[in-house]
Amino acid sequence: MKFFHLSDLHLGKRVNEFSMLEDQRYILDQILSLADAEQPDAVLIAGDIYDKPVPPAEAVALFDAFLSELVRRHIKVLAIGGNHDSPERIAFGADLMCGSGVYFAPVYHGCVEPVTLTDSFGPVRVFLLPFIKPAHVRACFPEEEIDGYASAVRSAIAHMAVNPAERNVLVTHQFVAGAQTCESEELTVGGADQVPATVFDPFDYTALGHLHGPQNIGSARVRYCGTPLKYSFSEMKHHKSVTVVQLGEKGALDIRTLPLIPRRDLAELRGTYMQLAERSFYSGLDTQRYFHITLTDEEDVPDAIGRLRAIYPNIMKLDYDNARTRGGGTLLPLEQVQPQSPEELFAAFYRQQNNRELSPEQRGCLADLIEKIWEGDA
């Protein structure tokens, strides 16, 4: 039995106010091309299909088209909702769609019935457990002591009819302890949402969603496939891919990855404005990428991002790294503030903002400007 393991599509997402919809369409088309070459029996989607509980219409249409193409290829789809999804919206129409080979996890109600697939080695039972919080499980089993995410997931799994003699797969969306994270993920402060990998011991493979970096947790039997696209500059070094899961007879598992190449990759540039604007600097560089640019000029460059976009049209983020930004000055308490002239006040403000003193030329310009203001000529 061959699966494609996907998760965290985040359809409809905007990164630094850039819509990623066309990039997502591009990568989903690439996944369909890989499906044509690999012929998987099913695609597992481990949550965060959308980026928001109420996704934009364009994102819904994109996912609808992706599902339709998989069904047309006679590839089954088994999907769950993640913490970004609305469980009720994800579950809508599930009973109708299962007739086409598309299975969505219902809203969690304490009972997770497996979807049974069959190959030459017999049945494979796939359990679809959407993102759950302790309160969800506590409501179903009030007599049990559910004091956190670990006990919630452990309880939910304990109530599944897992036959250890058969092959069992779990698709779920949780934060497993020991996993590597990045800044684009929503995690609970203090790690209260962490679940130990041992809770997944009953399964031959656990297809995880939630974390954006592809990684195994302990062994290949518990795996995050990661996002198909980079959604923050903290993911810049990630190698995005589709995880291919091959189940043989009971106990036989093979994992490999198929690389995904984005429409536009992420990149970071650093230097002065003049350096980045020099043709010799960007000659041969793919200037269509999504850029995070850090300027090292000591003076702020007026409309730097607008002017640089003439060369790098997809600048997502612009920062400065100079004496001002590294200084981190602090304000004095009000009772310690001494009376000061306008020149002294402005000089102190400039020092705080830029971590350096006004130059003689700037002081002369300031004095002239203040004089004109007082005289009413400005």
Q: Report whether 267 contacts 289 (CB < 8 A).
A: yes
Residue 106 DSSP symbol: P
What local confidence, expressed as pLDDT, does residue 138 receive?
A: 94
HEC string of 109-135 equals CCCCCCEEEEECCEEEEEEEECCCCHH
Closest CA to 173 of 103, 89, 82: 82
- Residues 66 and 21: their CA atoms lie apart, in Å, by 13
Which residue is listed with tokens 């949780």? 174
Closest CA to 70 of 46, 105, 97, 35: 35
What local confidence, expressed as pLDDT, does residue 182 receive?
A: 76
What local confidence, expressed as pLDDT, does residue 189 receive?
A: 47
pTM: predicted TM-score of the whole model, two decimal places:
0.83
Which residue is listed with tokens 């590597």? 180
Tokens linked to 27: 């990568």
E-strand ranges in the chain read: 2-6, 14-15, 18-19, 42-46, 76-80, 102-104, 115-119, 122-129, 167-173, 175-176, 194-195, 205-209, 215-217, 219-224, 241-247, 253-259, 266-271, 290-295, 315-320
**DSSP letter for each residue of 306-349:** HHHTTT-TTEEEEEE-SHHHHH---PPPGGGPPP--HHHHHHHH
Block mean pLDDT (10 aa), the chain, length 378 = 97 95 98 98 97 96 97 97 94 89 95 95 97 94 92 95 96 92 63 86 97 94 96 93 97 96 96 94 93 94 93 95 75 57 82 80 84 63
What local confidence, expressed as pLDDT, does residue 134 receive?
A: 94
Question: How many other CB atoms are found less than 10 A from the CB of residue 224?
Answer: 26
Residue 310 CA from chain centroid, whole number: 29
Q: What is the dihedral of CA 356, 359, 365, 367, to 10 degrees?
A: 80
Counting Cβ atoms within 10 Å, is residue 221 exposed (0-12), middle (13-18) or buried (19+)? Answer: middle
Strand 219-224 vs strand 215-217: parallel, antiparallel, or unpaired? antiparallel
What local confidence, expressed as pLDDT, does residue 184 receive?
A: 65
Closest CA to 292 of 263, 265, 310, 328: 265
Closest CA to 109 of 170, 175, 159, 176: 159
Residue 221: phi and psi, rounded to 5, are -75, -20
Closest CA to 174 of 157, 156, 149: 149
Closest CA to 112 of 71, 169, 63: 169
What local confidence, expressed as pLDDT, does residue 360 receive?
A: 86
Closest CA to 92 of 82, 106, 73, 111: 106
Q: Report whether 215 contacts 225 (CB < 8 A).
A: no
Q: What is the dihedral of CA 362, 363, 369, 371, to 10 degrees?
A: -170
What local confidence, expressed as pLDDT, does residue 316 receive?
A: 95
Q: Report whether 26 contacts 263 (CB < 8 A).
A: yes
- Residues 339 and 78: their CA atoms lie apart, in Å, by 70
Q: Is 245 helix (H, G, I), strand (E, B) or coil?
A: strand
